[in-house]
Structure 1
């Protein structure tokens, strides 16, 4: 797509040995030649990882990073609370690739209630990988970007510490410049608690602009919620988002990894403790309110059952790998798979964010 073509471009160091970007904050340059050590951009320190901090106010920022330099490298790019912006990218010695994205900066930078820590004010970037190489960084305020808001629980949120990973942290590499993911997901939230906590839905709603999509996923923590209360909570969020000119999108919850033989149990499929089939209720609200629905329950069910009880374990947390066994929360790999299912539906339904996907 056009935004993907705008997001990357390759270049090599010229005869003068200097690569520059027009920058507001964090200007850096790279000198060619083995005899000259590569200088880090302003605001950055370390070698592996390289960490960079910029004292900006909350808001949305267009960021361009020049990956590569005088040495061959492999670089991953992360922003704020473990949001992956660029998977591991290899560059040859002397080659530099400019990569652009838009970052939503908040405080707290991860979960809105501060679970897992509040992070630091401003914008934080982290460059990992086997041999990270950074030549220059540009940060500037974004001009009227599309903001895609995420309302959800621990399977969605910006989890501050590995191995737990929300799919909202893994959707970001697919989003090109001009659109930012504003993840207001928070651990332990039900549809009702999220709706009424001033740090969550009211805070999200206050920032929604015309045509901003708001993706709403709840179910994991609605274990005792009645059908009528669940429908009422979802309908209230849909109505309020619409009143601000935003575009609500309902997302049915991804399945838990709970098998009976080769099939997932009703608990895995979010039939709750009082017998309410939560995904079915969400689909009914979507039909009644005429809003798009991403059926992540059905898509994740098909994926997990196709893998079976053994192979599907890698999508969740395993004691042998992660130090904990958890059949609800995702590993980074699993969150990436869930993000891919969400992205497929966004593209298939031509939802507002689709135009910005790489």
Structure 2
């Protein structure tokens, strides 16, 4: 394996010292730091899966995070003492559209943004990933790659918890129910053929099934599970995150908060029933987020959602999505769906 580029430059000098010439796809050499400025990197690569290795640090103490494509968190802020360097790696999914499947195409190639308290990139290496495993996400606006602040889906924050060799392909889409996800040709009909043997496919659809009857909801989940299995993927059903809707006694409302729809269908209960019947793994995010939100209480839980910004008790802030992504990570480990070596836990 070729050594990561090691030209160590302070972050403030990178913009003047480096060119932003697009890297060309298909070349023999790894793509490197010549494609970066002080705050961003662009690599002219086709859709696919890429391993990225970054060398962080410099003459002064630094703190660097990396986001990519449509605001995906790929590497949490990493502190490096003055005069030292650390190497970190992650695997990123590049696709078109780069965010929500029904959204705009986005910018071609791979785009990375450097953030943190004092970003310092000393080197970077990008190569096609030959053996990475994928976590494919099917969901709604609480899961998707949200295009703009202050919104964030938990699927948008999940990549920062994964090391090189495991990546997230987020095909969640705002406003979708099980009915609309199956019906829209840009969604299920497009995503299903992309599922490969060995993929984990996490399904969280419920928030918008407000008028879906129980039989239809159950059948739709069974269709998704069966279609994923037919492709050789491993389906994982995820109960929906709760809404921040409290009773006077500080507990969550049994209907609105816990996703009982307008027809009286307890959607998380149906998910659990399908799990038992189809023998698929379950991430009970309803139970996990209920416990967390109730422990925080009406005031403390405001920061998880967008109550302060939008009076929104359904969609999560970047902070809240990061916390919920951590719950998903923990569940993946507890269920032995991913090995510990490819997951960041600290």
User: Could you tell me the TM-score, scaled by structure 2's length?
Assistant: 0.90
Q: Which residue of structure 1 aligns with residue 35 of structure 2?
A: 43
1:344 aligns with 2:322: no
1:263 aligns with 2:251: yes
Count of matched residue positions in the alignment of Structure 1 and Structure 2: 327
The answer as to whether partners of 2:9 and 2:121 remain within 8 angstroms in 1 is no
Q: Which runs of 5+ in 2 are unaligned?
A: 19-32
Q: Which runs of 5+ in 1 are unaligned?
A: 1-19
Residue among 322, 327, 339 paired with 2:313? 327
Distance in 2 (alpha carbons) for counterparts of 1:246 and 1:207: 10
Offset at residue 198 of structure 1 (A): 2.0
Offset at residue 351 of structure 1 (A): 1.2
Q: Deviation string for 1:70-126 (max 9, x for gaps)?
A: 332221111111111122222223211111110000111111111xx4320110100
What is the 5 A alignment of 1:166-315? 166-261=153-248, 262-265=250-253, 266-315=255-304
1:135 aligns with 2:135: no
* Closer/same/farther in 2, CA of residues 327 and 353 from structure 1, 3 Å limit: farther
What is the 5 A alignment of 1:36-75? 39-40=17-18, 41-45=33-37, 47=38, 50-75=39-64
Q: Deviation string for 1:310-344 (max 9, x for gaps)?
A: 1111100133xx3x221000011111111111112
Distance in 1 (alpha carbons) for counterparts of 2:263 and 2:15: 65
Q: Deviation string for 1:273-299 (max 9, x for gaps)?
A: 011000000111111111011100011
1:22 aligns with 2:14: no
Distance in 2 (alpha carbons) for counterparts of 1:37 and 1:341: 38
The answer as to whether partners of 1:70 and 1:95 remain within 8 angstroms in 2 is yes
Distance in 2 (alpha carbons) for counterparts of 1:139 and 1:293: 34
Distance in 2 (alpha carbons) for counterparts of 1:86 and 1:190: 31
The answer as to whether partners of 2:75 and 2:90 remain within 8 angstroms in 1 is no
Deviates more, 1:223-232 or 1:63-72: 63-72
Distance in 2 (alpha carbons) for counterparts of 1:239 and 1:355: 30
